[in-house]
Structure 1
């Protein structure tokens, strides 16, 4: 019995499904809405950071953030159900900046550990001096009512401590009690300096304060 082979006809261009104008229009509108949503979200975080920097977490009000950001209450609560979640986003911005500066140092062993330590702290200080929102993120890491900030603070402190230990092991910083406490001293300088600067703009900036910490440090390269 001969098998009948049925050849399928080639598809004509009309058989190939292509997006209709309405599909394209909906996709375009969806992307536009998403972009607008992202812009609104960033405006809210910017406004919250300014408010946290100006008066601290506890005193910052949702109404002031709404007014400062020129957004609606509905838009704010759509993106952030609470002030704590807003603060967490500000902390994450600061933490991302710290990670970026640490990654820019390169791999361990790429140059002098002590120079890397000084450069890392100086660059972080420079970024905070230039952006009050980052200063707010730094100060929120030690806000007692925000448990989320503690992990960001410890990660930052440990990054500094790692560079301090490598500097001591390389013989660039003389070992001793004060040297092993250097990371805590640096963090305290950042926190204290940021708190003072937020209420007294004429006070020395963080770059100056950090440079003072490292000036005269035994083994610190010029």
Structure 2
């Protein structure tokens, strides 16, 4: 057990080091030596856990989905779930190096050769499912195409967080996320139910 625990500590140190390096200089600008230095481990230890820099990239990209974990057991996922997830993601981008590095890596792959659509598809599917359940309960207008909305939300917020990064270093990302939902909610939700949803996110999302 002690050996397993040490191995897990080493793996976590490698992920933290890789996140710092990727966040600072991107995938192409980061070498395995940079990651080893940041992590404070040997190259042999790195290769024990990750076969390549590409494998490390995939592990860091997957870290963004940790944001979804607290919402997996929501009893009635719906519109507020999607709002809260994006507010949680905004907070994570401000505070969590792994999530921040993962998002940078996804965006880099999208603008270079070998783009990886999987993270986008995963978020679209998760949001579509939430919105479809909400529509079934009458919280989303019946004429709304939830697939189109899910794709729009992912694309819109991706651009929004990039703009926030450039203009304010993401300091205003929570405010901009609220603005997005303030504009979008009236188009999605029947007027009689609009008061049920918080564009600023629920208290749980802010904790």
Q: TM-score range by the shorter chain?
A: 0.7 to 0.9
Deviation at 1:59, TM superposition (A): 1.8
When normalised by structure 2's length, the TM-score is 0.73
Q: Which residue of 2 aligns with 1:57?
A: 27
Deviation at 1:196, TM superposition (A): 4.7
Given that residues 67 and 88 in structure 2 are in contact (C-alpha distance below 8 angstroms), is that contact kept between their aligned partners in structure 1? no
Given that residues 94 and 171 in structure 2 are in contact (C-alpha distance below 8 angstroms), is that contact kept between their aligned partners in structure 1? no
**More off after superposition, 196-205 vs 150-159:** 196-205
Within 5 Å, give how 1:134-173 maps onto structure 2.
Answer: 134-142=99-107, 143-144=109-110, 150-173=117-140
CA distance in 1: counterparts of 2:164 and 2:41, whole angstroms: 28
Pick 1 or 2: higher relative contact order, CA cutoff 8 A, min separation 6: 2
The 1:203–1:98 alpha-carbon spacing in structure 2 relative to 1, beyond 3 Å, is closer
CA distance in 1: counterparts of 2:32 and 2:164, whole angstroms: 24
Deviation at 1:92, TM superposition (A): 2.5
Q: Which residue of 2 aligns with 1:86?
A: 56
CA distance in 2: counterparts of 1:104 and 1:129, whole angstroms: 25
Out of 86, 90, 102, the residue aligned to residue 121 of structure 1 is: 86
Secondary structure of the residue that 2:75 maps to in structure 1?
A: coil
- Give the structure with the higher percent helix: 2
Which ranges of structure 2 fall in alignment gaps of 5 or more residues? Answer: 199-207
When normalised by structure 1's length, the TM-score is 0.69
Within 5 Å, give how 1:36-47 maps onto structure 2.
Answer: 36-47=6-17
Deviation at 1:121, TM superposition (A): 2.5
Deviation string for 1:16-45 (max 9, x for gaps)? xxxxxxxxxxxxxxx333322221111111
CA distance in 2: counterparts of 1:141 and 1:203, whole angstroms: 17
Secondary structure of the residue that 2:117 maps to in structure 1?
A: helix
Secondary structure of the residue that 2:158 maps to in structure 1?
A: helix
Q: Which residue of 2 aligns with 1:20?
A: none
The 1:46–1:190 alpha-carbon spacing in structure 2 relative to 1, beyond 3 Å, is farther
Number of residue equivalences = 186
Deviation at 1:124, TM superposition (A): 3.1
CA RMSD of aligned residues (A): 2.9
Deviation at 1:47, TM superposition (A): 0.8
Q: Which residue of 2 aligns with 1:206?
A: 173
CA distance in 2: counterparts of 1:196 and 1:65, whole angstroms: 28
Q: State whether structure 2 residue 65 is matched by structure 1 residue 100.
A: no
CA distance in 2: counterparts of 1:186 and 1:114, whole angstroms: 12
